[in-house]
Amino acid sequence: GIENWVAIVTNAESGIGREIAITLGCLGANVVVNYLNNYPRSEMTLRSIPNGFGCRADVSDENQARFLVQSTMQTYGHISLS
């Protein structure tokens, strides 16, 4: 199984990203829900996931992408999928 995996899912507030985040979460992964501008939608995604947190970051910007990874590492200590 994927229990204790840590997944960063970009654009997880809607569409395919949301479905991937929810599926991974329901299978037991810890999911970092990355979003850029739609905080309310990211919160809706997080309510569907047992374990995870949201992180606002523009992954096309190197510094913000680094922040996303660092936040994940500080919380979980590793990353299994991104």
Give the tens place of pLDDT for each residue, 51-80: 999 999 999 999 999 999 999 999 999 999
Q: How confident is the model at residue 65, as a pLDDT?
A: 98
pLDDT at residue 52 in the model: 94
Query: What strands, in cross-sheet order, belong to the sheet with 30-35?
Result: 6-9, 30-35, 52-56
| 30 touches 6 (CB < 8 A) | yes
Structural tokens at position 37: 């501008």
The pLDDT tens digits of the residues spanning 21-36 come to 999 999 999 999 999 9
> What are the residues whose beta carbons fall under 8 Å from the beta carbon of 71, sequence distance 6 or more?
32, 55
pLDDT score, position 33? 97
What's the chain's Rg over C-alpha atoms?
11
Please say whether the beta carbons of 74 and 66 come within 8 A: no
pLDDT band at residue 82 using 50, 70 and 90 as cut-offs: low
